[in-house]
Structure 1
Amino acid sequence: MATTNTIGVDLAKNVIQSSIVSTSGIELQNTELTRTKFAEFLAKQKPSLVAFEACATAHYWARYAQAQGHRTKIIPAKAVTPFRQGHKTDKNDALAVAEAANRPNIKEAPLKTIEQQGIQAIQRSRELLVQERTSLSNHIRGLLLEFGVVIPKGFAALNYRIPFVLEDAENGVPHIYRPTLHRMFNRYLKLREDIDFLNEQVKQIVKQNDGCNRLTAIEGVGPISAVLLFSTLGTGEAFKNGREYSAYIGLTPKQYSSGGRANMIGISKHVANHRLRSVLIQGARAYVHKLKEPKTPKQRWLWELIQRAGYGKAAVALANKNVVRHGHC
């Protein structure tokens, strides 16, 4: 598709700043628009490269721009910052996005389809409820400990012990607190019910979605890993190969090389998709620890790596290999 101008967009909740830069690098316009006016603006423009800084609503507007005949890019904020000149203002940010969009080797964030965003929304809601359940269980345990009531670790122990705590009038828990404890426990049970519902929904998504279903055949990849991998990849156009996808997740070693000498210093703690990387490594670790008698070439490779480097590094290497394979699919 032949494009004319580059449109850099700085998104916000109610107002959107857009900078139009010509093919010769001259800024033609830099205006603030409402959401409605911005939609009309995109519909009127000739086919252009429309670049967004990766943030809330970026995927929605990128899909809308594509529907209007434009080519789109979503650029991580870290890649935009070096091109900002002057103070941090909406105008300067929009111009910086347009500048970054035309630079070579700028890594894009993958554009997600509406289905992938829906799956991602389900998974993030599940994670929120899991965090709330853990927080609430710790809250209940901590308060009861102040009254001398000790509940062992684990959700099963909490489920079993709390009804007995409520029934026992002589355990030291004050009567004034008991109605609140009852309500908190009911809230905990409702969270457990909602998590079970979302877990079942994830399983159904994996069964019905061919891409997710095929991912579960990979070693150490379960339903949660599958939906996260599928929703994170986007259309796949942002990555040249599986290696780039693995680097985006944060499974490849950082490189600090100079003078022709390559120096690998381990995976990054900061530049990574921490949520997905953690799930993939946990799944790979479980598979690695269960491997006893290698039969396939991949299992033999993994077994030799375990003997040479240990279970931890072998798990990361397996997760990396799985993602590289997925990126080629």
Structure 2
Amino acid sequence: MKNITLLGIDLAKDVFQLHGVNEHGKKILGKKVKRSELPTLIANLASCKIVMEACGSSNYWSRKFMSYGHEVFQISPQHVKPFVQGNKNDKNDARAIVIAAQQDNMPTVPIKTIEQQEVQMLHRYRESLIHERTALGNRIRGYLREAGLFLVQGLSQVRKQIPLILEDAENELTSGMREIIFSCHKKLLDLDKEIEKYTQKIEHFCKQSSVCERLMKLSGVGPIIASIVYATMGSPTNFKNGRHFAAFLGLVPKEHSSGGKQCLMSISKRGDRYIRSLLIHGGRAVVKNSGKKTDYLNCWIQRLHKERGYNKAAVAVANKNARHMWAIMAYDDKYVDHMKLCA
């Protein structure tokens, strides 16, 4: 136990599988441990490198193990899977985690603080409410179509037209149908209020955070984008540079090169789809309004829009914003936007 230099842990709800090796890569520990026993076992270990898959509860355990003086890393499950030998079980999974951790340049997942997880939870819950509201709006439309009633696209039309439809005694809606649609409409309005409530919570967090305030100075970056980037990035030192962070979000081209001939394709779309979509939406807003300004950055956007098209220009702005946000967080107040100096 004292000679362990690398420990892989296959996380679970109740029983955890451990696989420890020494400096020569030889296995010296392989056992199952109950959740209640794990903290004591890790606390009694000599300082070593602990690796686990980035999954549910991994941030909690990472913070706990770091408080014991260990060096902790999280690896994405997709990078661990190729190293699983034989059938899939807890023992082989823990061994695969150790093998993956021994590879050169193995990418790791940033460990989040409890504050960052709170912000991320706000976003995830708000996003789920938006999906629920969209599904409810579609459900109401489907119910009404069965009675020969059709609504124009947009949730605003659903909110406006439902009261009028329910008051109309000449349509084919039965009393039972009216009761269901009334209930759905009430739930839709409740979802609107709840979404607004959590949006305000995010905005309030950004007002209290000096980092988010600096991020929001960028064009196309508001409270929603600033807060989720802050929560996702963790420490800027997790990334070598801004390009590395943009690649982490899937905002760089896929490469399929061979024989010394470079071939770049569409963006890789790796990483968090939610953040990437927000950045691209912000980029679209910047491209749309770039014609109103004549500074260096907006002239570049206009030229890109003309030569490459609207969507590619929006993605380029999203990529640039991602790199700028990394620089702002990495260099703090020392960051200088050279694009503005060229204006």
TM class, shorter-length: over 0.9
Distance 2:211 2:44 in 1: 36
Distance 2:105 2:297 in 1: 33
Distance 1:188 1:301 in 2: 43
Distance 1:90 1:70 in 2: 23
Distance 1:50 1:36 in 2: 18
Relative to the length of structure 2, the TM-score reads: 0.92
Q: Is residue 2:210 matched to residue 1:185?
A: no
Following superposition of structure 1 onto structure 2, how do residues 50-65 of structure 1 map, counting pairs within 5 Å?
Answer: 50-65=50-65
* 3-state SS, counterpart of residue 151 of structure 1: coil
Checking the alignment, whether the CA contact within 8 Å between 1:107 and 1:238 is kept in structure 2 is no
Name the structure 2 match of 1:289. 288
Distance 1:166 1:84 in 2: 59
Checking the alignment, whether the CA contact within 8 Å between 2:4 and 2:28 is kept in structure 1 is no
Query: One-letter code of the match for 2:73?
Result: K
Q: Which gives a bigger RCO, structure 1 or 2 (Cα 8 Å, sep 6+)? A: 1
Where do 4+ consecutive residues of structure 1 move more than 3 Å? none
Distance 2:303 2:167 in 1: 56
Checking the alignment, whether the CA contact within 8 Å between 1:206 and 1:226 is kept in structure 2 is yes
Distance 1:30 1:295 in 2: 64
Name the structure 1 match of 2:327. 328
Number of equivalent positions: 326
Name the structure 1 match of 2:94. 94
* 3-state SS, counterpart of residue 236 of structure 2: coil
Structure 1 residues 113-132: Cα deviation after superposition (integer angstroms, max 9, x where no partner):
11111000001000000000
Distance 2:197 2:293 in 1: 37
Name the structure 1 match of 2:31. 31
Query: One-letter code of the match for 2:221?
Result: V
The worse-fitting range, judged by mean Cα deviation, of 115-124 and 219-228 is: 219-228
| Cα deviation, residue 149, structure 1 | 1.6
Checking the alignment, whether the CA contact within 8 Å between 2:212 and 2:227 is kept in structure 1 is yes
Name the structure 2 match of 1:309. 308
* 3-state SS, counterpart of residue 170 of structure 1: coil
Structure 2: tracts of 5 or more residues without a match: 329-343
Q: Is residue 2:79 matched to residue 1:75?
A: no
* 3-state SS, counterpart of residue 177 of structure 1: helix
Structure 1: tracts of 5 or more residues without a match: none
Structure 1 residues 164-211: Cα deviation after superposition (integer angstroms, max 9, x where no partner):
222222211011222222222111111111011111111111111111
| Cα deviation, residue 4, structure 1 | 5.4
Percent identity, please: 37
Checking the alignment, whether the CA contact within 8 Å between 1:110 and 1:236 is kept in structure 2 is no
Q: Is residue 2:158 matched to residue 1:162?
A: no
The worse-fitting range, judged by mean Cα deviation, of 139-148 and 81-90 is: 81-90
Query: One-letter code of the match for 1:305?
Result: L
Distance 1:323 1:137 in 2: 33
Name the structure 1 match of 2:332. none
The worse-fitting range, judged by mean Cα deviation, of 18-27 and 177-186 is: 177-186
* 3-state SS, counterpart of residue 237 of structure 1: helix
Checking the alignment, whether the CA contact within 8 Å between 1:252 and 1:320 is kept in structure 2 is yes
| Cα deviation, residue 249, structure 1 | 0.3
Distance 2:50 2:90 in 1: 16
Following superposition of structure 1 onto structure 2, how do residues 1-329 of structure 1 map, counting pairs within 5 Å?
Answer: 5-269=5-269, 271-329=270-328
| Cα deviation, residue 44, structure 1 | 1.0
Checking the alignment, whether the CA contact within 8 Å between 1:126 and 1:195 is kept in structure 2 is yes
Relative to the length of structure 1, the TM-score reads: 0.95
Structure 1 residues 89-137: Cα deviation after superposition (integer angstroms, max 9, x where no partner):
1111111111211211111111111111100000100000000011001
Structure 1 residues 9-56: Cα deviation after superposition (integer angstroms, max 9, x where no partner):
111122211111111101111111121111111111111111011111
| Cα deviation, residue 293, structure 1 | 4.4
Query: One-letter code of the match for 2:134?
Result: T
Checking the alignment, whether the CA contact within 8 Å between 1:294 and 1:303 is kept in structure 2 is no
Checking the alignment, whether the CA contact within 8 Å between 1:250 and 1:267 is kept in structure 2 is yes
